[in-house]
Structure 1
């Protein structure tokens, strides 16, 4: 019983404090001094490591953009056509050059790029971007190396042809359609963007290439010099820390070395020099002051420790009882805890967690009910569709036989209608729980409209505005066709004059926006509000046999969320507009 009592936190704290006070103050001071130095040094190196991770991420992002631009230029057919072309006059060269402004576009929209130069083997034009590679240029090592790499990427620290300023640059050979070299592409990275990578770092930071050449440092005089602090290391890949003495000062050098994307021969390093003496000077001063203060506070702490442990013990017990209640499944914790420290925060977090768990349980229960309700409705719809699938192969074969009879009887209009009807039936009898490309839904709508066009003749006209860039996105089938059908049946069919139907499908940020507009009879504001409210009513039961707007809206809300669905806007006598937004998704 006595040993069990000693295991309580209250008595453990008292015992630990007594043992600590028995240790000689000098030994404690020495230990704390050493420990503080190590902690400060460790924290500093952790901070340096975190900054290095951020710099590496930024630098990789910059390099990736430059590589992507080089890929675009490498495969650009207009560039190859321009360089491989035969020109009879300077005017033809000038006109062909003006039709290829892509270099200027890259320089305008990508701040990572300082310059883009293309060293051509053909002497057709020379300006800031296109340079004729004469014998002097062709004999230079970087040019020969780029040709030897056969289109592979190479990173160099080289000077600009016109200004002789040196930059970190990417080189690669570009080939024509017959795999013959057209010249060497050189993309220079902006020094300002490299400066932004190391901006805000407290310690001296270097960006080096292949453990040899310094390509960026705050000290401009060091640019292009050999990075001798790597101690003849190979171009290792990874992160490591070196201890070195530079200018009679002990430093730790944190190095992040990585291989640029699509590069086989180059590595880039980010090296941060951390002076050891400067880091531990302040901890030593603080320790001396703290040691003197501790001597005075020791006597006061002996008096207060008893009061503190007793209060601490009571609050720990309260926290333990609350956690025991939660463990038993009682998530209603109403008692408040005194104090303003971490124990109270933990207690409040426990209360918040309990409320969140209870809320999640309630939400899961409600969602389960909604899901079961929707499954029941989906089954009802599937049963309706199943009733119409009486031997579909027999029906398709029969329609095909009728179509062939119409062709033999030289009635192409009837054959066309039967073919479109067959396609519509095949699409509508597919499973409605599997996504299809938007293009299939558009094809279904076109077949439906063509059939209606044959039915109504000049009384019906339509216009479709479809963004072709979104046709590959996937949607749930039979979402858009019911809107078109509703517009014809309830909007245009009851109109005496010819009717016009407009269908617009386009991108809207991360969504696909569908608008179906008719100039039919429209509806009153009262009727419009009734329909909008009915679509949002989950308990509404449709009496019709078709897939109505209520069903479509509920399917969209369940599949994609409440922010998606159908919206209606109408003016009596002028027409109706139905809008629907769906998320863009590839799968």
Structure 2
């Protein structure tokens, strides 16, 4: 019989290491050497393409931002009024120009470092030439501008000289009156000559060796097809330019081609609104040299490391196996108890710390479960207590009221009854109530105030249509308005205050009017209050609680029913204030 041959785990790992890792690495490494080189080049080209597309997106975004300046000028009522002839005298024209339009032109010119000039060519001969910003329509404007339709813009492209910053871009778009029924001028935004080159290089910091060209279709207004927009320019022969112009129409995102100066990587992005393409050419000689050198060093280092690791592998592996087996024996005998090992921070130590963390986490979870159970019991107790306390207060007030009646103190009894009804009304968890219940709450609320103010406060509540009492409305929607009328209106005058609350129907709309004969408001105060309600100015200050109450009701009405159902306020100084609510039928809000 053959004796069974046994190989230890360490020996198996060494054999497996040589057969599975070392030999295949040496054999296949040489085969993949070229592929690694090609992948490095491809990755570089892909990353370069991504960067170029990002640069292109930034370029197009800057053009769009410049185009949007037209919208600001088109919607400026002062400018449209001036160009439409609204201001007939020279003094008025100069005044509005200096006051409103000079800051407008200066702001948008300074909003971008690339804008050289913003100018409006007027069509109305009665409008003065105002500085360099508003002038007569120039005969030098491109004829394409006259053909523009409503909403269309035109980018004029011009070559100023032979420098890399020679490309001049100017944007034109017509201006119309407020009704868009008449042309009143043409907006011109001229960019600086270095716009294209500086924008490209500022957004491509890693492309210092890239050379940018502005490529246009044949028979264009520039009279040429290839414009250099970077400095220094890469030398290109006529054959190179022909090859570029033919390759730029191909669908590939990037291409390599041989030029007279060496191999070049070509990336591009299109500018449709100018019928042009911006192209980046990057020499690849330095890239290939660096890639080949890195690949050779990489292979050499891997070979040396494989030799060194082969000698040290057995010792390291044996140590790791012993530590893992020791941890396994502990886990079998002492599950969910900590394992102490005074070792370094290697993988096995990480495994040990992970096991100990799992044990600690398990202990923490058990503790949290116990705490959670205690908190659930406490929350249930507090919820029960929260339900008992308001009812206890209400019942206590009712007992005091009955005692006051027995002691022949009707004012105290009446006030306690009203207070008890108010507390009872507030116990409901619903956000809505019938108008009947809301008005009943208001009566209780006013009765409390009457005990305090006596004959200085009189009120009446009139409901013209009894069906209104069943109409649903937001809870506590009227009380802040009543409180505001008393505190800021009636209490500030010496005469007897009268608060009139009236409800009636207009179609399917319930109208609730709260009117007082208090101090009222001045026209300026009324205007400020209406502007606050419309959101034109900030909310009231903290020392004006009445304003906060009105704003709260206004915002609740808008949130509940829509913008058309905000508060309406009228007031006259010394006569009083009227606040009107419009409550639609449920389901009919807008």
TM-score normalised by structure 1 residue count = 0.54
How far residue 83 of structure 1 moved from its aligned partner, in angstroms, is 1.0
Deviates more, 1:70-79 or 1:374-383: 374-383
How far residue 275 of structure 1 moved from its aligned partner, in angstroms, is 2.5
Deviates more, 1:358-367 or 1:54-63: 358-367
1:22-101 aligned within 5 A: 23=27, 28-29=29-30, 31-32=32-33, 34-85=34-85, 90-98=90-98, 99-101=100-102
Aligned to 2:122: 120
Tell me if the contact between 1:207 and 1:216 (Cα under 8 Å) persists in the aligned partners: yes
Tell me if the contact between 2:144 and 2:154 (Cα under 8 Å) persists in the aligned partners: no
CA-based RMSD of the aligned residues comes to 6.1
Question: Over alpha carbons, which structure has the higher Rg?
Answer: 2
Secondary structure in 2 aligned to 1:100?
helix
Q: 1:22 to 1:243 in 2, by over 3 A?
A: closer
Q: CA–CA distance in 2 between the matches of 1:208 and 1:364?
A: 68
Q: CA–CA distance in 2 between the matches of 1:65 and 1:444?
A: 50
Aligned to 1:168: 169
Aligned to 1:277: 285
Q: CA–CA distance in 1 between the matches of 2:39 and 2:264?
A: 17
Aligned to 2:253: 240
Aligned to 2:140: 137
Matched, 1:449 2:496: no
Q: 1:158 to 1:117 in 2, by over 3 A?
A: farther
1:539-578 aligned within 5 A: none
How far residue 253 of structure 1 moved from its aligned partner, in angstroms, is 1.9
Tell me if the contact between 1:204 and 1:273 (Cα under 8 Å) persists in the aligned partners: yes
How far residue 311 of structure 1 moved from its aligned partner, in angstroms, is 5.5
How far residue 125 of structure 1 moved from its aligned partner, in angstroms, is 0.9
Which deviations, in whole Å up to 9, do the C-alpha atoms of 1:3-49 show, x marking residues without a partner? Answer: 9989x9887544323433663xxx744632x1342243234234324
2:428 aligned residue (374, 382, 386): 386
How far residue 372 of structure 1 moved from its aligned partner, in angstroms, is 10
Q: CA–CA distance in 1 between the matches of 2:326 and 2:119?
A: 73
Which deviations, in whole Å up to 9, do the C-alpha atoms of 1:474-520 show, x marking residues without a partner? Answer: xxxxxx99x99xxxxxxxxxxxxxxx856787xxxxxxxx9xxxxxx
Aligned to 1:231: 246
Q: CA–CA distance in 2 between the matches of 1:58 and 1:38?
A: 30
Tell me if the contact between 2:432 and 2:473 (Cα under 8 Å) persists in the aligned partners: no
1:414 aligned residue (459, 480, 501): 459
Q: 1:131 to 1:353 in 2, by over 3 A?
A: farther
Aligned to 2:475: 428
Aligned to 1:150: 150
Secondary structure in 1 aligned to 2:151?
coil
Tell me if the contact between 1:331 and 1:358 (Cα under 8 Å) persists in the aligned partners: no
Q: 1:131 to 1:504 in 2, by over 3 A?
A: same
Q: 1:74 to 1:365 in 2, by over 3 A?
A: farther
Q: CA–CA distance in 1 between the matches of 2:228 and 2:385?
A: 64
Unaligned runs of 5+ in 1: 260-264, 402-411, 431-442, 474-479, 485-499, 506-513, 515-587
Unaligned runs of 5+ in 2: 218-224, 391-423, 444-456, 495-517, 553-590
Which deviations, in whole Å up to 9, do the C-alpha atoms of 1:89-115 show, x marking residues without a partner? Answer: 654543342231211111234435332
Q: 1:273 to 1:173 in 2, by over 3 A?
A: same
Which deviations, in whole Å up to 9, do the C-alpha atoms of 1:391-443 show, x marking residues without a partner? Answer: 72434677999xxxxxxxxxx98359999xx9xx954358xxxxxxxxxxxx9
Secondary structure in 2 aligned to 1:386?
coil
TM-score normalised by structure 2 residue count = 0.54
Q: 1:154 to 1:392 in 2, by over 3 A?
A: same
Aligned to 2:186: 184
Tell me if the contact between 1:55 and 1:198 (Cα under 8 Å) persists in the aligned partners: yes
1:16 aligned residue (2, 20, 27): 20
Secondary structure in 1 aligned to 2:140?
helix
Q: 1:390 to 1:210 in 2, by over 3 A?
A: closer
How far residue 182 of structure 1 moved from its aligned partner, in angstroms, is 2.1
Q: 1:37 to 1:5 in 2, by over 3 A?
A: same
Aligned to 2:109: 107
Q: CA–CA distance in 2 between the matches of 1:331 and 1:57?
A: 58
How far residue 303 of structure 1 moved from its aligned partner, in angstroms, is 1.9
Tell me if the contact between 1:10 and 1:309 (Cα under 8 Å) persists in the aligned partners: no
Tell me if the contact between 2:172 and 2:187 (Cα under 8 Å) persists in the aligned partners: yes
Which deviations, in whole Å up to 9, do the C-alpha atoms of 1:135-171 show, x marking residues without a partner? Answer: x335x24423xx42332233343479xxx97433332
Q: CA–CA distance in 2 between the matches of 1:53 and 1:167?
A: 23
Tell me if the contact between 1:112 and 1:189 (Cα under 8 Å) persists in the aligned partners: yes
Secondary structure in 1 aligned to 2:152?
coil
Tell me if the contact between 2:176 and 2:182 (Cα under 8 Å) persists in the aligned partners: yes
Secondary structure in 1 aligned to 2:124?
coil
Q: CA–CA distance in 1 between the matches of 2:154 and 2:490?
A: 66
2:208 aligned residue (193, 198, 202): 202
Q: CA–CA distance in 2 between the matches of 1:364 and 1:112?
A: 63
Tell me if the contact between 1:206 and 1:270 (Cα under 8 Å) persists in the aligned partners: yes
Aligned to 2:580: none
Which deviations, in whole Å up to 9, do the C-alpha atoms of 1:209-262 show, x marking residues without a partner? Answer: 76767584344899xxx98735365598xx822233333422222334466xxx
Q: 1:41 to 1:142 in 2, by over 3 A?
A: same
Q: 1:83 to 1:387 in 2, by over 3 A?
A: closer
